[in-house]
Amino acid sequence: MAIVLDGTNGVTTNSGTLISATTIGVGGATPSTSGAGITFPATQSASTDANTLDDYEEGTFTPTYIAGGGSFTTLTYFAQTGKYTKIGNIVYFSINVFTNSVTVGTATGELSIGGLPFTSDSTSQFHQAVSLGRVYRWANAISNMRAYVAINGTSVTFANMATNSATATTVQVSDMTTGANTAYNCLDISGCYKIA
């Protein structure tokens, strides 16, 4: 039996509860035929109400190393995994990246990780901190870096900022191990960020 909430009549029960043995679709979504839970529309119908959960999505993305300038001649990966779960306006993500071969070419400057699945919040100075896990097999030690999702973008930036200084040390292309080396330049990153 299906109960349809059509936005006009609604449903009232004596106990004030609504029970589904399997799945419930909201926003016109067809309830999933597997498991039990709430199915949201494939395309979000955003609510302006601060107390309304209006989206849920799981998926993958492809993280990549990005140079501040120029381009790598060769940049191949041993692992290049990104997974996300979006709940409302927050994206939870995990990244694992290893390189197999790096030829720098004209690549230069600051190194970051691009490819996040959604654009971050654009509020000025609202950089959102994330965590680094394994950091190894780099040419230079970078494990003391902090990481954050930069505003209005899709990249993770690295910096080590002294609290008494306005200058920052950043990860550079020159910190990478170059040449053909299986599973080098490893980074694990996890965190969450508010989207635009």
Partner 1 sequence: MALIESKKIDQIEVVNDWNIQVRQATIIERDGEFVSRTFHRWVLNPDSDISGQEQKVKDICNAAWTDEVKAAYETFKAEQAKRMP
Separation CA 182–CA 186 (nearest Å): 10
Separation CA 179–CA 104 (nearest Å): 9
The smaller minimum CB distance to partner 1, of residues 152 and 182, is found at 152
The smaller minimum CB distance to partner 1, of residues 58 and 179, is found at 58
* Residues of the shown chain interacting with partner 1 in the complex, contacts defined by CB under 8 A: 33-34, 42-43, 57-62, 84, 115-119, 122, 125, 150-154, 159, 161, 166, 168, 196
Separation CA 157–CA 124 (nearest Å): 16
H or E segment to which residue 33 belongs: none
Cβ of residue 48: shortest distance to partner 1, in angstroms? 17
The smaller minimum CB distance to partner 1, of residues 184 and 193, is found at 193
The smaller minimum CB distance to partner 1, of residues 88 and 153, is found at 153
Q: Which residues pair with 38 in a beta bridge?
A: 24
The smaller minimum CB distance to partner 1, of residues 40 and 184, is found at 40
Cβ of residue 34: shortest distance to partner 1, in angstroms? 8
For the chain, the distance separating the N- and C-terminal CA atoms, rounded to the nearest angstrom, is 40
Cβ of residue 76: shortest distance to partner 1, in angstroms? 17
Separation CA 133–CA 111 (nearest Å): 17
CA distances from 50 to 46, 188, 192 (A): 11, 32, 19
Cβ of residue 139: shortest distance to partner 1, in angstroms? 23
Cβ of residue 124: shortest distance to partner 1, in angstroms? 8
